[in-house]
Structure 1
């Protein structure tokens, strides 16, 4: 018998998240916030191990990751002042040595940054979108665009939690003054000189490399629809009445009225989102993959596309405008998503091991 041909496939993955030494010492699948993902993987015979990352013990993390078949990464681009500037090279090194990594840093740089809004603006999810690659072009082009086209939303290329996202309005009584509102929770509108605001944004050209400029969407108060994806298939939806970029009520930023509503989770078959699902699975994701030159098998095992409602079409149906893709650390997720993640992981393992045995 050809024992090599009938050898069972290995199936061990690491679930990587950020934490300190104490969290690393105490980490188990049962006390992890990803416990349902651990359970879904175990249900189909995949062993998952919690791995806690911090820059201070990166070498030990590297050794752990090199001992598994694949790595699922849940680490934000920016967290309590720390970035992924050291983690991403580590993950690139691990992926080059054998284990697959999801989401791979190269894939994140294509789809998990705000530049994707500009590069895919021709798709059905696009809007009036521009990119500024230098501080000089930003200063030269943005003021006239703001005056001519109404309120704009500026976004630094890499970030999360509303960091570096601003609504900007020109004040009618002075060409040199603007009203700005940061998307971070607790922010208040601020009137300031346009030149001062442009200077405030210039650091975004450092790590992020560019600033993305989109038209403000008037239907923002209708909420945001988060479309959860596992690979190229929809894994569920979340609808939330958000408060980011909406001025706080008279009761103040800490009042109950100023807080975002709960994100209501739905499975992939939710009737009210089937038009969006068809667009994502049949048109937008395939065209995004082609536009960004991404191998479909390299799509993250879990990612999400955040949509705002655009203007209704001629038939009165909703349209959708992409405002962000999250590929670095997509969580929390719908009840149906852990099983979808497990199925996608199994396909990756079978594909990877099949390629290895075919060499």
Structure 2
């Protein structure tokens, strides 16, 4: 093995430090060097794609993708480059199929037949399905719609019927008044249902377009619990409590949520549950190696016996940061060495 890793970044974006890099990239680079490996950071551009493929395939054992999908002009072209690299023997952290399995919102639909996700969770991949079925679900109670690839709460909507009587046998009326709150900033908007559904077409159109529809969990006001994972190990837990405004449900810092950083030992019941479910999750999501750095977000709910239960609200692995705990870079570096060595050993077997 070359023991050389290339980190892929892109210029620009609100996730960069003063040096133009993500704040958590160089700590990992330095931690790799401390264990005898080498690493470099390369900025991806579409114009240099062919040149990058040749350089990475010749020089590196692995690539580490540190690009937020929102900072790419053409995600599909970037993914196509990553697939070419893995086809040429470069270990991908992460491969596109892993990013889509663990990072797309419809992971919730794939897991809805498990105890982690309510069974009345749905995905809409076209407007016909959305128009036919969303009013039926809304008639039964508040819903949350989530666009596929949004970040910081953008395109995540809490939707509530203002008048519960504005329904018929097909569900909520298209003329019904709905109160819609976006998680980005807890801003409330009033629409007719038909208007709002037409507005949501932007989330369904285009490549990888899709909306997930799940019931609103009122105990979100108690906080969302994010488990930060380095491969198969929980290393940090963030308790994210929404602002105390009447309509607030967003757990993003931008929206005014308060964050508390805990250890996995502070959440023994949740950590035990999640670790027990990991083999099942891996199997359902394609039997891939777990991502290098990823998260799972949970919200408290109450079961039929009045006991607490944890509901999975989201998973992410496309470009998870750990800027609040840069000391984790040593753990990340060790995981990189382990994963690359394991995959390279498979090639030689």
TM exceeds 0.5?
Answer: yes
Instruction: Describe the SS at the equivalent of 2:80.
Output: helix
* Closer, same or farther: CA 196–48 of 1 in aligned 2, 3 Å: same
TM superposition outliers: structure 1 runs of 4+ over 4 Å: 26-29, 243-246, 312-316
Q: What residue in structure 2 maps to residue 161 of structure 1?
A: 152
Does the 8 Å contact 2:24/2:326 carry over to 1?
no
* Closer, same or farther: CA 258–232 of 1 in aligned 2, 3 Å: closer
60-69 vs 285-294, greater mean Cα deviation: 60-69
Instruction: Describe the SS at the equivalent of 1:278.
Output: helix
The alpha carbon displacement at 1:245 in A equals 10
RMSD over equivalenced CA pairs, Å: 3.0
Instruction: Describe the SS at the equivalent of 2:195.
Output: helix
The counterpart of 1:13, out of the listed 1, 5, 12, is: 5
C-alpha deviations, 1:126-157, integer Å up to 9, x for none? 12311223211111111121012x11001122
**Partners of 1:337 and 1:201 in 2: how far apart?**
39
Q: What residue in structure 1 maps to residue 221 of structure 2?
A: 221
Unaligned 5+ runs, structure 2? 167-172
Does the 8 Å contact 1:225/1:239 carry over to 2?
yes
* Closer, same or farther: CA 274–64 of 1 in aligned 2, 3 Å: farther
**Partners of 1:244 and 1:88 in 2: how far apart?**
40
Does the 8 Å contact 1:62/1:94 carry over to 2?
yes
Does the 8 Å contact 1:240/1:264 carry over to 2?
yes
Does the 8 Å contact 2:24/2:322 carry over to 1?
no
1:111 corresponds to 2:110: no
Q: What residue in structure 1 maps to residue 29 of structure 2?
A: 38
Q: What residue in structure 2 maps to residue 260 of structure 1?
A: 257
* Closer, same or farther: CA 43–314 of 1 in aligned 2, 3 Å: farther
The alpha carbon displacement at 1:55 in A equals 2.9
Instruction: Describe the SS at the equivalent of 1:191.
Output: strand
Q: What residue in structure 1 maps to residue 343 of structure 2?
A: 352
The alpha carbon displacement at 1:107 in A equals 1.2
Q: What residue in structure 2 maps to residue 6 of structure 1?
A: none
* Closer, same or farther: CA 73–306 of 1 in aligned 2, 3 Å: same
The counterpart of 2:75, out of the listed 78, 84, 92, is: 84
The alpha carbon displacement at 1:193 in A equals 0.8
| Count of equivalent residues | 331
TM-score (norm 2): 0.85
**Partners of 2:67 and 2:254 in 1: how far apart?**
31
* Closer, same or farther: CA 281–248 of 1 in aligned 2, 3 Å: closer
Q: What residue in structure 1 maps to residue 90 of structure 2?
A: 99
**Partners of 2:305 and 2:343 in 1: how far apart?**
47
Does the 8 Å contact 1:132/1:210 carry over to 2?
yes
